[in-house]
Amino acid sequence: MTNNNNNKSINEMVLDIRNRQRIKPSSNDIPTASWKGKDLFNGDIVSTLTIIFKTDGCYWGKAGGCTMCGYVYDSAAESPDDSNLMNQLNKSLEKLDENEDVIIKIFTSGSFLDPNEISLVSRKGILTTLGADQRIKKIIVETRPEFVTNSALEESLGYVGNKPFEIAIGLETSSDKIRLESINKGYTFNDFIQASEIAKKKGVTTKTYLLLKPPFISEGQAINDIVKSANDIVPYSETISINLCNVQKGTLVERLWENKEYRPPWLWSIVEAIKAIKSEHPDILVMSDPVGAGSERGPHNCKECSKTVANAIRTFSQTQDLRVLENLSCDCKLTWELVKQLDDLTYGSPITV
């Protein structure tokens, strides 16, 4: 970290960076993104439709927020109204075939259950439409834990009927210290537990996102943190999804990376973490999609093996079969072993690219 940042809080540093970014104007009738994919559901591989609604954005991120998050720049330049949001939904649903079974994953670059982002009218409109659509087998909505209340869940369940409903929370780590000092997430592990318990009582499942290697921790600490976090959240989570920290534009992580004070995680690290977590908890779903794998801004090993290892991680996520991670090898694994030992001495500043 450069000297002139020494007196600033981490939130002030993130906010400084945010204030220098511009949000590009684009139509509010089109979602930020929507795409189809595949996921495990009740033991079968089924289609998924991910929708990132364009909203006013995450209230926490707009006030500074998380050190690695560039999603706030995906928000709308001007507030979308309820009809804009329904148009975004309908546009996304056009991607589905007539008779396919599908899981819908809703993101907003913030919190679906924040009424300032998705109004109560839009919440009703979106969930009622999804509830009535026979192709849709399950609905997952991402939210910060403070918006998971009895009334929000009761209302949502009323709209989706008897379809499985899941909340997805970006807890990132069970360590309050790392969440506070490396991520600046603004809530505690207890807040997450409370949300997940409210959900459980209503028959709503919880998917938890963990973050491998936020800034200011070493490669070895990052692996230990993910494995410990997974152990800690098992009672509160049906699915664990591990995001590998990547360098997004307009973030504190990007600033550190440009200053050579941050390197995204090695793919060997996630392989080690998945093996440890899945062996310990065979029944829990462990997923990871190594977004941007192989690039300098994304999680990477060496150029020779990054693609193969990333594909193996994706295959594992769809099969939950640890054997796909068994026979991976490359010369760079030795370097990674060394990094794990030496990185601890540099407080997470990279010793290799």
Site string for ligand SF4, 103-142 (x = CB under 6 A): ------xx--------------------------------
Q: Are 141 and 167 in contact (CB under 8 A)?
A: yes
Rule CB under 5 A: choose which of 328, 330, 342, 351 binds Zn ion: 330
The interface region with ligand SF4, picked from 68-76, 221-229, 271-279, 321-329 by CB under 6 A, is 68-76
* Residues 6 or more apart whose Cβ sits within 8 Å of residue 147: 111, 113, 114, 115
Q: Name the strand (E) or helix (H) holding 104.
A: strand 102-107
The CA–CA distances, whole Å, from 31 to 35, 107, 108, 142 equal: 11, 10, 9, 15
Nearest residue to 71 via CA among 266, 209, 262: 209
Separation CA 301–CA 266 (nearest Å)? 5
In the complex with Zn ion, the residue whose CB is nearer, 106 or 271, is 271
Rule CB under 5 A: choose which of 104, 233, 305, 310 binds Zn ion: 305
To the nearest whole angstrom, how small is the minimum distance from the Cβ of residue 172 to ligand SF4? 8
In the complex with ligand SF4, the residue whose CB is nearer, 47 or 239, is 239
To the nearest whole angstrom, how small is the minimum distance from the Cβ of residue 334 to Zn ion? 10
Q: Are 74 and 30 in contact (CB under 8 A)?
A: no
Helix (H, G, I), strand (E, B) or coil at 150: helix
To the nearest whole angstrom, how small is the minimum distance from the Cβ of residue 73 to ligand SF4? 10
State yes or no: residue 332 binds Zn ion (CB under 5 A): yes
β-strand pairing of 44-52 with 33-41:
antiparallel
Separation CA 218–CA 84 (nearest Å)? 44
Separation CA 140–CA 6 (nearest Å)? 40
The interface region with ligand SF4, picked from 61-69, 241-249, 291-299, 325-333 by CB under 6 A, is 61-69
State yes or no: residue 61 binds ligand SF4 (CB under 6 A): yes
Rule CB under 5 A: choose which of 302, 322, 328, 342 binds Zn ion: 302
The interface region with ligand SF4, picked from 15-23, 59-67, 126-134, 223-231 by CB under 6 A, is 59-67
Q: Which does 305 bind (CB under 5 to 8 A by kind): Zn ion, ligand SF4, none?
A: Zn ion
Chain center to CA of 328: 26
What backbone phi and psi angles, to 5 degrees, belong to 15? -65, -40
Site for ligand SF4 in 168-207 (CB under 6 A): 170
The interface region with ligand SF4, picked from 55-63, 214-222, 283-291, 332-340 by CB under 6 A, is 55-63
Separation CA 275–CA 125 (nearest Å)? 42
State yes or no: residue 144 binds ligand SF4 (CB under 6 A): yes
With CB under 6 A, what is the number of residues at the site for ligand SF4? 12
State yes or no: residue 242 binds Zn ion (CB under 5 A): no
**Per residue in 25-64, is it b (16+ CB within 10 Å) or e — as a string?**
eeebeebbebeeeebbbeeeebbbbbbbbbbbbbbbbeeb
Q: Which does 302 bind (CB under 5 to 8 A by kind): ligand SF4, Zn ion, none?
A: Zn ion
Rule CB under 6 A: choose which of 17, 52, 58, 103 binds ligand SF4: 58
To the nearest whole angstrom, how small is the minimum distance from the Cβ of residue 213 to ligand SF4? 15
Separation CA 171–CA 185 (nearest Å)? 8
Chain contacts with ligand SF4 (rule: CB under 6 A): 58, 60-61, 65-66, 69, 71-72, 109-110, 144, 170
Chain contacts with Zn ion (rule: CB under 5 A): 301-302, 304-305, 330, 332
